[in-house]
Structure 1
């Protein structure tokens, strides 16, 4: 089963990640993508923090596809377990 779209969260400046969620049926799965991964996807040097949410929305389909792949592979991290996406996850 692939994940369904959840909520777009907010950019967490201290950790340099964009938080979001995906839904596994009725269970919410916490996810995050690093700012460097989003910049790599767009081939830009550095996006300003106040533009991260807009950047996430532009890239959302690709980000969520990658999160679904990691979910199906059981690649969870942290406590509580969630999905964390890095530049490495988007390389073929």
Structure 2
């Protein structure tokens, strides 16, 4: 069953990742996407941390779809975080040339 949209947590300077939550039948699932994965998705490199929320909002549907797929594939233990890295970004989404900055 796909996860549903939760809330935006925000940028984590220590982990260099953007946090958000998803819901699994009403239970909160913590999720993160790495800076590198978000840049890979956007087809850019080295976006500043101040741009991450805007980047997340622009690609939110895709990012949440990836998180949902990873959750379904792995079925993490209760309390585990779903983490998205560059290897999880579909090849057809990489370096599309759209949204280059």
- TM-score using structure 2 length: 0.83
Larger Rg: 2
Partner of 2:67: 67
User: Following superposition, which runs of at least 4 residues in structure 1 exceed 3 angstroms of deviation?
Assistant: none
- What's the offset of the Cα at 1:4? 0.3
Report what 1:47 is aligned to: 47
Whether the 8 Å contact between 1:18 and 1:52 is mirrored in structure 2 is: yes
What is the alpha-carbon distance in structure 2 between the residues aligned to residue 25 and residue 62 of structure 1? 20
Q: Distance in 1 between matches of 2:76 and 2:51?
A: 27
Unaligned runs of 5+ in 2: 92-101
How many pairs does the alignment contain?
91
What root-mean-square deviation, in Å, do the aligned CA atoms of Structure 1 and Structure 2 show? 1.6
Q: CA deviation at 1:52?
A: 0.6
Residue 84 of structure 1 corresponds to which residue in structure 2? 83
The residue that corresponds to 1:58 in the other structure is 58
What corresponds to 1:19 in structure 2?
19
**Structure 1: runs of 5+ lacking an equivalent:** none
Q: TM-score, structure 1 length as denominator? A: 0.91
C-alpha separation in 1, matches of 2:2 and 2:56: 20
Instruction: Name the SS for the 1:39 alignment partner.
Output: helix
